[in-house]
Amino acid sequence: MLHLVGLGLADETDITVKGLEIVKKAERVYLEAYTSILLVEKEKLEAFYGRPVIVADRELVETGSDDILKDAETVDVAFLVVGDPFGATTHTDLVLRARELGIKTNTVPNASIMSGIGCTGLQLYNFGQTVSMVFFTETWKPSSFYDRVKENAQFGLHTLVLLDIKVKEQSLENMARGRKIYEPPRYMTVAQCAQQMLETEEERKEEVYRPVSLAIGAARVGALDQKLVVGTLEELSKVDMGRPLHSLVLLGKRAHDLERDYIREFAIDTESFDNAWKANNYGSIS
């Protein structure tokens, strides 16, 4: 059987008891390592599980799935996913491939950023579509996220923005020359995300949000050193939230007074926060 096991958000101890029992008995254990990362090294996982762990990069998961599924009709294979197993569509593809081969599958869910972002104190019912923010380049600045944020804003809903990570990526030159040389890992910060959002608004000029719109920066959600910072997009474009992983939440107009009272604790500047709350007319949509 193929077991997709969610690892949770932070470290080796976030795995569920059910998931740990599967890992300890599995013939092979893979760690998916490109849609997200745990905040600890692979060696810590291996020490905690008492088992060797095979790192599965994008190439292996997307083009080498037969290697992962080898003999899974007769032995147990554990495929570990940071967060929840179905937080990325890639893993749906892996299950479909297993079905084609007649391999049974089992899923062990866990906390993901989609639920963990509740640590901000914002009501999960008030969130709209989740969007992703990729690293801009000089020639490529996709703004499809902006349209989804606009749709959320029309209903006064909060928007969770997931930030880009680049792990085992090749430069265009190395890719063109067929050289297996990889760039150092990069993880987008809250400041970079806020800056790119402002840049996109300046380009689109549809006033979906403004420099004074309130947002929450979240870093290392679920870890002991979790950090939350609340401020305007302009303020967050200058904030340093430390090591990855980062996420950002743009507040919607439906924000409730209880949410205001909770997030105010994390404000960069409470006076600026109060002024921005009034200027953006939060709480105006019931």
Annotated binding site: 9, 84, 87, 112-113, 163, 221, 246
Q: Cα–Cα distance between 118 and 85 in angstroms, integer?
A: 19
Helical (H) or strand (E) element with 165: strand 165-166
Residues 145, 115 contacting (CB under 8 angstroms)? no
Asked if the peptide bond before residue 245 counts as cis, ω within 30 degrees of 0, the response is: yes
Give the single-character DSSP code of 184: P
Residue 261: C-alpha distances to residues 87, 94, 163, 284 (Å)? 30, 43, 26, 16
Binding residues for S-adenosyl-L-methionine: 9, 84, 87, 112-113, 163, 221, 246
Residues 155, 126 contacting (CB under 8 angstroms)? no
Cα-based angle 119, 157, 208 (whole degrees, multiple of 5): 120
Which residues lie across from 210 on neighbouring strands? Answer: none
Compute the Cα dihedral for 170, 172, 174, 180 and give only its sign. positive
Q: How many CB atoms neighbour CB 240 within 10 A?
A: 10
